[in-house]
């Protein structure tokens, strides 16, 4: 067992920076930028973001930077929705699934949860991840804090 590598229940995919590394989006792009030419099986660089509806300029700045440094960039931002209380944003991710932070609802038929996995958007509330992928999603950090860059 290698601490911090094989003890997490998942492996970091391809050339991506570990999901737990707390870096700003520019440093993440810079870290991953050299690898797409070597990844002949496909690639995507992406950033995890909080709800930034009120600071779209920050996201546009990151997109402009990514356009200059990587050939394919994706953005992950919370769009979960609870049909019980009307909450929209990011649900709490646990090892057992997803829960509305406002009312505690975790009934898969009464929520909509969307996450990107291996470049594709999916609904883990309707079709759950395996344990390793759930652990990786649970540990993802945001690359913009409080809607600010960095």
**Segment 19-36, tens digit of pLDDT:** 888 999 999 999 999 998
Distance CA 145, CA 143 (A): 7
Distance CA 21, CA 43 (A): 20
Which residue in 18, 16, 11, 13 sits closest to 29, CA to CA?
A: 16
The dihedral region occupied by 56, where left means phi > 0, alpha psi between -120 and 50, and beta the remainder, is alpha
Q: Note whether 99 and 134 are within 8 A (CB).
A: no
Over the stretch 105-146, which tens digit does the pLDDT of each residue have?
A: 999 899 999 887 766 666 777 777 777 777 877 788 887 765
Q: What are phi and psi of 16, to 5 degrees?
A: -70, 145
Residue 126 burial (C-beta neighbours within 10 Å; 0-12, 13-18, 19+): exposed
Helix (H) or strand (E) run with residue 41 in it: none
- The dihedral over CA atoms of 128, 47, 94, 132, expressed in degrees to the nearest 10, equals 60
73 C-beta neighbours (distance < 10 Å), count: 18
pLDDT above 90 as % of the chain: 37
The model's pTM is: 0.73
pLDDT recorded at residue 146: 55
pLDDT recorded at residue 148: 54
Which residue in 109, 84, 83, 80 sits closest to 92, CA to CA?
A: 80
């Amino acid at each position: 067992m290698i601490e911090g590598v094989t003890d997490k229940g998942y492996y970091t995919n391809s050339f991506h920076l570990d999901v737990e590394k707390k870096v700003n989006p520019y440093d993440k792009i810079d870290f991953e930028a050299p690898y797409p030419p070597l990844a002949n099986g496909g690639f995507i660089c992406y950033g995890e973001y909080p709800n930034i509806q009120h600071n779209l300029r920050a996201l546009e700045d990151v997109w402009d930077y990514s356009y200059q440094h990587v050939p394919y960039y994706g953005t992950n931002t919370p769009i979960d929705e609870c049909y019980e209380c009307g909450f929209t944003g990011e649900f709490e991710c646990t090892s057992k699934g997803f829960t509305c932070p406002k009312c505690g609802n975790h009934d898969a038929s009464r929520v909509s949860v969307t996450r990107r996995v291996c470049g594709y958007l999916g609904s883990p509330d309707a079709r759950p991840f395996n344990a390793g992928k759930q652990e990786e999603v649970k540990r993802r950090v945001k690359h913009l804090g409080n809607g600010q860059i960095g």
